[in-house]
Structure 1
Amino acid sequence: MSQQAGQVGEAGAGTVADGGRCAVYLNPMAQRRAEFEAAGAGLFARLALADGVEAARALVVASEGQDAASRVDLLVIDLERFEQSIDLAALGELVALRRGAPVLLLCPCAGAAWVPALMAFGPASYAITPIEAPALHQAVAGALAAAGADGADAAALRDLLALRTRAGQAVRAAVDSQDLGERLCRALADWPGVLHAALFHLKPDGDLQLDAQHGPEGLSLATLLGRSHGLLQAPLRHAFPGLLAAATGELALLDTLGQAGEPGMADTLRAHGVAMAAGIAIPADGPGMARGALSLLFERARPLSQEDFATLLDVAELAAQGLHGAELALENEQLLARLTYISTTDALTGIANRRHGEELLEKEIRRARRYRVPLALVAFDIDRFKAINDNFGYPVGDVVLRSVADAARAVLRSSDLLVRSGGEEFQIIAPHTSAIDALKMAEKIRLAIEQAEVPGADHVTVSLGVAQLGEQESGDSLVQRVNAALARAKRAGRNCVELAMQ
C-alpha cells in the first residue's frame, strides 16, 4: 500500500472471491481504502470499507449475533491520518468492542506508539506501513491465526522480568550518564533476539549524542549515521527508528528495514544480520523534547507483544530516571565546584584568597615536614598603591591589581601558589624551594611587574620579602618573618627584595 493521500469518501463495500472471510477496513482517506481493497484481493469474500470510526462501529455491531457467514472476521484499522491525542479513545472503544476477535493495526513507523496504546483496550496484531501486498497477506493471516491465542509464554515472561531487573540494576549502579548508557545497553542486548542496543541522549545544550552502544564488532551506529554528535541534523534522522523516537518522543518501529525508504541504511543493517529495528523514546520530565531514545536492532523480525511493549516502555522510564539522577548529580558537582571556587578565590584577580591561602600554607608546611623538603614563602605588595587610587581612581587601581597578579603568575612554576593576602598584598607559597631559589624567583617577579604595561596608569613596582620555613617553625612565625622582610624592603627604598632573618 502506498501512503499517497486521497479524498475522504463514504463507507462502502467491495467483494472479492475467497473462502468466505469478512473484514472491515477503516481509514479516513478514500485512496487508502481503494489501495487496501486492491492489495487485499483474494483475502476476503466480503470487505467493508469504512471512512470513520462510527461507520466501522456500525458495521461491527451489525454483524454481532449474525451467522458465521455474516460475522466480521477481521477489523483492520489503518492508523495513517489518525491523531492519537484526538482519536485514541474512539479507536480504543472500537478495539474493545471486538472482545478479543481479530484486530489488525496498520501503523506508520513513526507512529508505532499507537500499537501499545490500542493493545491496552484489547488484543490486536499489527503491521508497520508502508507494506507490500505479500506482507499484507501474511499480516492478515497472522491476525486471524492469533485470535484467541494466549499472551506471552512463560519463558518470554521470564526474559522480560530479567530485562526489567537488569535495567533497574543498571540505573542503581550507574555513576554518570555515560556509565548508565553502557550498563543499559548491555542489559538490553541480553534480551533474546536483540543484536545491538544503543542509547541516544539529548544534552542540556540541545545536542543529541550517541552516549553508548553494545553489539557485535563492526556494527557501529556512529559509522552508520555518519556521526555521534549533532544527530538531530543527521541525514538519517527521518529513517532510523532510534533517531525518530528521540526527535518525536514517540515509539518508532521498522518490522522490515525497507520501510524506511533508505536502501543504503537497510543494506548496511542487513549485512550485519539486522532484520528489525525499534526506537523507544526516553520521556522528559515535562513538556518538551524527549531526553533521548533507546535503539534496538533485532536479528530476526518478530511481532512484539503487549508485554514486550510494556517492558520496553518501563525500561525507557528507568532510563529517564537514571539520566535525570545523573544530570542532578552533575549539576550538584558543578554547583559544589562553583561554591568552592567562590569561597577560595579572590573575585578581582582570580587567584587564591587570604583564607584559602592560609589553608594552603598549612597544607604545604605539613607536606614539607613529612617529606623533609624545603618550603619558601614570598610576600610582596604594590608600592604607593594609595597614590595610584588617589591619582587615577579605583577602577584603575583594580586594573593594577589584576595586572600585577597576571605578571606574577606568568613567571611562576605550576607548583607555586599565588595568594592575595590583603588589599594590595600578595603571597607566593613555593614548595621544594630554598631561600636562595626563592630570592631568584622574587627578583624575576619584581622585574616582570616593573616591566608590565598597566592600562590607564604609570608603571608600577613592588617590594618583596622572602623566607624559608624553619625546621620547627609554625605558619604564623613564617608569615611574621616574611612580612618583616617586606617591611625592610619598603624602608630600603621600595622595588627591591629582602631575605628574612632566621
Structure 2
Amino acid sequence: MSQQADAITQQVGLFLNPVAQRRVDFQASCGKQFGRLFLAEDAEQAAHILSQQQIDLLVIDLEHFDRSLDLETVGALVRQRNGAPVLLVCAFSTAGWLVELMASGPLDYVIGPVRADELNQRLASLASVAASGADELRRLLAMGSHVQQAVQGGDDQRALAVRICAALCAWPGVVHAAMFEASAGELALSAEHSPSGLDLERILASTDSLSQSSVRHVFPGLLAAFTGELALLDAPEKAGDPQLAQALLGIGAGMAIGVPILATGPGAPLGAISLLFARAHVFTSDELATLSDLAQLAAFGLRLDEMSRDAEQLVARLTGLATTDALTGVANRRRGEELLEQEVKRARRYRAPLALIAYDIDHFKDINDRYGHPCGDAALRIVGETTQAALRASDLLARSGGDQFQIVAAHTNAIDALKMAEKIRVAIAGTAFPGCDRLTISLAVAQLGDQESADSLMLRVSAALARAKRAGRNCVELAMR
C-alpha cells in the first residue's frame, strides 16, 4: 500500500446526521476511507465525541437538519474544530448554510445529491491534499480590480449592471454572468454578459415572466432571487430536471451559482447574480464572501432611485409583522403561534417535553359591561404582568385574543405545567385590580404528544379549557389525549 493510501485509511472520521439510515448508508459506502469512523445523531453527541477523540475529518450531512433550529449548534461544531478539516454535504437549494457556517471557521463542502463514488473521491482528496490559498488570493485580487473599474465607469444603472456582469466574466472558468432584478413581485433579467455570446433564453424558457418560468425552482439564479438563499449547482444533473441539465450542458455550463441580492433589512430579495462555469469549482469562504459583497454593490448601484420606496415598504412590513400586543406588552397571537411551531419542531427533534397552557378571565364580559372598557383594559394589563412575573425566562406568554392568553413552556411535562398553572391561578386570584372586583381565571394544560402537530395541541387545550369553565371556573383542567 502506498504512503498516500495508508494515510487515507488510517484517518479517524466522524459523520453527523439525525437520520439513522443516512448514517448506515454513509458507513456502508464511505467507511473504507477511514481507519475508524464514529457516527453521531445530533450536534450534542458530535461535540462530545470531538472532545473525547482525535478526529481527522468531521463530515456533516445537512439533510434533515432545520436551519432555524440547528444553525447555531452546527456552527459551534465548526468552531470547535479550530481549523481542522470539516466537510459539509449540502443540497444545492439550501446552500445558504455555507455562507453562515463559513463564518464559524474553514470548511470544505460537496453539493448533494452526491453519488457514493463522488463522495469517496472528495474524502480521499481531503485526506491527501492540502489546500493552497495562493491561487485563490490572486483570483480575488483580479476580481476586485475588474469590479472596481466597472463601478467607476459611470452612473447609468443599466450600463452599470452590464459592466458588473462583464467584470464577473473575468473570473477564470465563467462562461456567462447575469443579474436579475425584482420589482413589484416580478423578476426581470436586467443584464447579462458572456465571452462567447451565450444567452439565457433557452434555459429560462418563459414567454411571460420569470416568476412563471418552468425552471424557477431549480435554476440557481432564479432560485436565489426568489428565496434569498445562495443556490449552488455543481453538476447540472443534481437539479433533478433533465431538461435543465441538458440545456446547461448544451451551452457549455458545468456548474451554476445564484447569489441573492438582499435588502438591507427584512423583506423580499431584490434580485440575484447568476454565474455559469464551464466546470465545477469548489468555492472558499473568501470567494463566497466576495460574491456576497458584489451582490450588495449591485443592489446599491441598481436600486438607488428606489431606496425611498423600499424603505416605506419595509416600514409597512415591519408594522404588519409586529410581534408585541400593544395593550398588554406580551407577545401577540402571531408570535405565539410562530414560537409554538418552532418549539414543536425542537421537541420532536430532541425528544424533549413541551407543554401548552391556555387561560382566559372568568366573566370578562361582565367586567367590561359593569365597569367599562378602560377598566377591562387595565385588568388585561395586570393579568399579563402578574402572569409574566410567575414564569421562567424560557417561557413565552402570548395574548391569543380578547381575554385569552397562552403560555408555551419548553422542556416542561404535564405535571410541571399543572404546577405552573396552579401557581398562576393563585397569583391572579390574590391580585388586586383597581376599579373592579378581584378576578379569577380558568386554565387548561396539555403536553405535546408524539408526532402531534401544533394545531392538534391547541385544539386539545381549548377543549380542556371549556371543561374547566363547565366545572365552575377558577380551576385547572388537564387536556386528555
TM-score, with length taken from structure 1: 0.57
Name the CA shift for 1:93/1:125 in 2 (closer, same or farther; >3 Å): same
Partner SS for 2:90: strand
Structure 2 residue corresponding to 1:214, chosen from 193, 201, 204? 193
1:200 aligns with 2:183: no
Tell me what 1:346 maps to: none
Tell me what 1:469 maps to: none
Partner SS for 1:287: coil
Structure 2 residue corresponding to 1:317, chosen from 287, 292, 296? 296
Partner SS for 2:260: strand
Name the CA shift for 1:207/1:177 in 2 (closer, same or farther; >3 Å): farther
Offset, 1:126: 0.4
CA contact (8 A) 1:124 1:143 kept: no
Tell me what 1:89 maps to: 72
The 1-side partners of 2:140 and 2:279 are apart by 18
Tell me what 1:235 maps to: 214
Name the CA shift for 1:228/1:326 in 2 (closer, same or farther; >3 Å): farther
The 1-side partners of 2:148 and 2:243 are apart by 36
Offset, 1:28: 1.2
After superposition, residues 358-397 of structure 1 pair within 5 angstroms as none
Tell me what 1:102 maps to: 85
**Equivalent AA in structure 1 for residue 98 of structure 2:** V
The 2-side partners of 1:303 and 1:135 are apart by 14
The 2-side partners of 1:328 and 1:116 are apart by 26
Tell me what 2:284 maps to: 305
Offset, 1:200: 0.8
Structure 1 residue corresponding to 2:167, chosen from 187, 195, 202? 187
Aligned residues with identical type, % of pairs:
46
1:296 aligns with 2:296: no
CA contact (8 A) 1:199 1:213 kept: yes
The 2-side partners of 1:198 and 1:228 are apart by 18
CA contact (8 A) 1:177 1:326 kept: no
Structure 1 residue corresponding to 2:51, chosen from 40, 61, 69? 61
After superposition, residues 90-169 of structure 1 pair within 5 angstroms as 90-146=73-129, 149-150=131-132, 152-153=133-134, 155-169=135-149
TM-score, with length taken from structure 2: 0.59
The 2-side partners of 1:215 and 1:231 are apart by 20
The 2-side partners of 1:113 and 1:198 are apart by 20
**Equivalent AA in structure 2 for residue 76 of structure 1:** V
Tell me what 2:453 maps to: none
Structure 1 residue corresponding to 2:57, chosen from 74, 79, 87? 74
- Which consecutive aligned stretches of 4+ in structure 1 deviate over 6 angstroms post-superposition? none
1:27 aligns with 2:17: yes
CA contact (8 A) 2:146 2:170 kept: no
Name the CA shift for 1:325/1:165 in 2 (closer, same or farther; >3 Å): farther
Offset, 1:37: 2.1
Partner SS for 2:32: coil
Q: Does 239-248 or 228-237 show the bigger shift?
A: 228-237
Deviations 1:185-232 (A, max 9, x none): 1010111121110011102x2110111111144522122111376212
Structure 1 residue corresponding to 2:40, chosen from 50, 67, 79? 50
Name the CA shift for 1:316/1:25 in 2 (closer, same or farther; >3 Å): same
Max Rg structure: 1
Offset, 1:164: 2.5
Partner SS for 1:42: helix
The 1-side partners of 2:67 and 2:144 are apart by 27
Structure 1 residue corresponding to 2:202, chosen from 203, 219, 223? 223
The 2-side partners of 1:132 and 1:88 are apart by 25
CA contact (8 A) 2:175 2:196 kept: no
Name the CA shift for 1:170/1:216 in 2 (closer, same or farther; >3 Å): closer
**Equivalent AA in structure 2 for residue 81 of structure 1:** H
Deviations 1:76-109 (A, max 9, x none): 0111222334322221221121122211011110
The 2-side partners of 1:61 and 1:228 are apart by 57
The 2-side partners of 1:287 and 1:38 are apart by 44
After superposition, residues 413-424 of structure 1 pair within 5 angstroms as none
Partner SS for 2:279: coil
1:246 aligns with 2:246: no
Aligned residues, how many? 303
The 2-side partners of 1:172 and 1:86 are apart by 42
Deviations 1:454-484 (A, max 9, x none): xxxxxxxxxxxxxxxxxxxxxxxxxxxxxxx
CA contact (8 A) 2:31 2:37 kept: no
Offset, 1:266: 1.3
Tell me what 1:394 maps to: none
The 2-side partners of 1:174 and 1:281 are apart by 24
Offset, 1:25: 0.7
The 1-side partners of 2:29 and 2:198 are apart by 36
Offset, 1:54: 0.6
Offset, 1:132: 0.3
The 2-side partners of 1:257 and 1:188 are apart by 21
The 1-side partners of 2:228 and 2:10 are apart by 42
Partner SS for 1:40: helix
What is the CA RMSD across the aligned residues, in angstroms? 2.2
After superposition, residues 343-358 of structure 1 pair within 5 angstroms as none
Deviations 1:258-299 (A, max 9, x none): 110112211221222211110000111322211100000011
**Equivalent AA in structure 2 for residue 239 of structure 1:** V
Name the CA shift for 1:243/1:174 in 2 (closer, same or farther; >3 Å): farther
The 1-side partners of 2:303 and 2:287 are apart by 24
CA contact (8 A) 2:202 2:247 kept: no
Deviations 1:17-68 (A, max 9, x none): x8333211111122222222222142223222111001001111111xxxxx
Tell me what 1:479 maps to: none
Structure 2 residue corresponding to 1:274, chosen from 238, 248, 253? 253
Show structure 2 runs of 5+ residues with no match.
1-7, 311-481
Offset, 1:243: 0.8
